[in-house]
Amino acid sequence: MMSLSPSLGSPNNLLFREMKSEERGLYLIHLLLSCANHVAAGNLENANTTLEQISMLASPDGDTMQRIATYFMESLADRILKTWPGIHRALNSTKMTLISDEILVQKLFFELFPFLKVAFVLTNQAIIEAMEGEKVIHIIDLNAAEAAQWIALLRVLSAHPEGPPHLRITGVHQKKEILDEVAHRLTEEAEKLDIPFQFNPVASKLENLDFDKLRVKTGEALAISSILQLHTLLAWDDEAMQRKSPLLLKSSNGIHLQRVLPMGQSTLGDLLEKDMVNGYTPSPDSTSSSPSSLTTSNSMNMESFLNALWGLSPKVMVVTEQDCNHNGPTLMDRLLEALYSYAALFDCLESTVSRTSLERLRVEKMLFGEEIKNIIACEGSERKERHEKLEKWFQRFDLAGFGNVPLSYFGMVQARRFLQSYGCEGYRMRDENGCVLICWEDRPMYSISAWRSRK
C-alpha cells in the first residue's frame, strides 16, 4: 500500500482506477491522515500533493469511503485556505444558505434516518410521564424546527380521559421563518384536536437567548426539550479558555498564521493574541474563576446556560446529543474521531438508500459535509459542532444541579419497537444507566437522557 505513494505519475492513475473498494478505502484513510499531518504542520506543498492524490480517488457519488473522503478533503483544503483570510473570504463571498435548503436538509435527515423519530418518541414519553395530572403544561423546545414531535404529543394529550391540559410551547430557533412554519402546523393541529394551545416563538441564537422571553410562569409545569443543540454552546467555553491561555490557541490551531510569515516576526495572529492577553487582567484566583466572566460578548457559555435552565425548575429536561468525541483539542484527534463516526453515518445510508439518490447526496453534502467542515476547518467560537459523549454530559448536568431521571421501560419499548419496524438490522438501541444510546451496529451515535432540577 505504502509503495504506491512516492511516485504518482500517470501509470499510477491506472492503478488507482483498478483499486478495489476496500483497498481504496484504506488508502484514502492513509492519505487523509497524512494530509491532516501536513495541514497541522502548515506544510502547504505536501498538503497540496496529498490533496491532489485524494481527489483522484474520492468521489461524492462513489462508495462510502470515497464519499466521506470528498468532504474531509474539502475540509482540510478549507482549513489551509483560512490561513489566507483574504483568499478564503473572496472564495466564500457569494456563499449563502437558503432557508429553504435548511428546511429541506433537516427534513431529509428526519426521513432518511430513524434517529430523530426515536428521540421524539423517548422525549415525548418522558414529558408525558413527568406531566401526569398537570393541568397547565409549558414546554420549551430549544430547537423548534420540526412540528412532527409536538403533533404526536398533541395527539396523546387529546386522548386524556379527564380532558386535555392547557399546553403552551415556547419554540426557540434562529430563523423566524422556521418558527412561523412550526407555529402554523401546530396551531392547525391543536384546533383540529380541540386542545387549548399557545405557541410562543423566540427567534434567537441559543447563546444569546434572553431567558425572560421564555415567559415561564408560576403555576405551570415546565418541560424542556433539547435535540442536538447544547453542544453548540461549548464554542463559547472554548473562546473563554483561549482568552485565559493563549498557548492553547496555538496548539489547537495547528497552522495558525505562522506558515505564511517567518517565525519570530509578528503575525496578525500573534498581535491578536497579545491583544487578548493584555485585555484580560488575571485576578488572583484566575484559575478558579468562571470562564463566563471572560467572554466579552453577551454569549452564554455552557455553565451559565445550564445554570439558567436549572433556575427555571423544569419538572423534566430531555436532551438528545450526538454521542461522539468531536471536540478534541487537536486537528488529528478530531479528524480520527470524525472519520469513524461519519463513516458510520454514511454506512447507514449506504445500506438503506441507493448510491444515485439525490436526497442522499444532499444530506451528505449539505448536512454532514458542513458539519465535517466545521469540525475540521474551524476553531474558537466558529466551531459549533462540538459533539461530546454521554459521560461528559452527565458530569456537566450533575455539576449544574440536575439529577438524572431514568427513561421509562415503556418509552424504551416504544422506541425499540419503532427501530425494529424500520427494517434495517444495523440500527440498535442500548440502555445505559437509564439513558438510551442509539447505535449503528455497535457504535453509539446519539444519546438521549432525561433530567430534573435537584433541589
Ligand X SMILES: *[C@@H]1O[C@H](CO)[C@@H](O)[C@H](O)[C@H]1NC(C)=O
* Interface positions with ligand X (CB under 6 A): 45, 48-49, 52, 88-89, 92, 95-96
CB 313 within 8 A of CB 222: yes
CB of 74 to ligand X, least distance (A): 14
Residue 33 CB, shortest distance to ligand X, in Å, is: 18
Query: Grid coordinates 505513494 are at which residue?
Result: 5
Q: Which is nearer to ligand X, 20 or 95 (CB)?
A: 95
* Pair 200, 171: CB distance under 8 Å: yes
CB of 439 to ligand X, least distance (A): 33
The C-alpha cell at 50 is 496529498
Shortest distance in whole angstroms from residue 227 CB to ligand X: 23
Residue among 22 and 52 whose Cβ is closer to ligand X: 52
C-alpha cell at 289: 474563576
58 vs 349, which CB is nearer to ligand X?
Answer: 58
Helix or strand holding residue 58 (H, E): none
Phi, psi of 446 (to 5 degrees): -135, 145
Residue 70 grid cell:
470528498
Tell me which residue of 319, 299, 328 sits closest to 397, measured CA to CA.
319
Q: Which is nearer to ligand X, 48 or 283 (CB)?
A: 48
Q: Which is nearer to ligand X, 56 or 247 (CB)?
A: 56
Min dist. Cβ of residue 106 to ligand X (A): 18
Q: 226 — phi, psi (to 5°)? A: -130, 115
Nearer to ligand X, 96 or 358 (CB): 96
Residue with smaller CB distance to ligand X, 174 or 408: 174
Least Cβ distance, residue 258 to ligand X (angstroms): 19
Nearest approach in angstroms of CB 79 to ligand X is: 11
Taking the least distance from each CB to ligand X, the nearer of 89 and 417 is 89
Q: From CA 49, how far away is CA 54, in angstroms rounded?
A: 9
Q: How far apart are CA 103 and CA 450, in angstroms?
A: 27
Three-state DSSP class for residue 157:
helix
Q: How far apart are CA 242 and CA 245, in angstroms?
A: 5
Cβ 32 to ligand X shortest distance, Å: 16
Closest approach of Cβ 131 to ligand X, in Å? 39
Alpha-carbon gap, residue 80 to 66, rounded angstroms: 21
Burial class (CB in 10 A: 0-12, 13-18, 19+), 154: buried
- CA dihedral (411, 424, 102, 139) in degrees, to 10, reads 0
DSSP label of 229: -
Q: State the Cα–Cα distance between residues 65 and 69, nearest whole angstrom.
A: 6
Among all chains, which residue has been given the C-alpha cell 473563554? 240
Sign of CA dihedral 65, 70, 75, 81: positive
Indicate the residue among 83 and 449 with the shorter CB distance to ligand X. Answer: 83
> How far, in Å, CA of 259 to CA of 60, rounded?
31
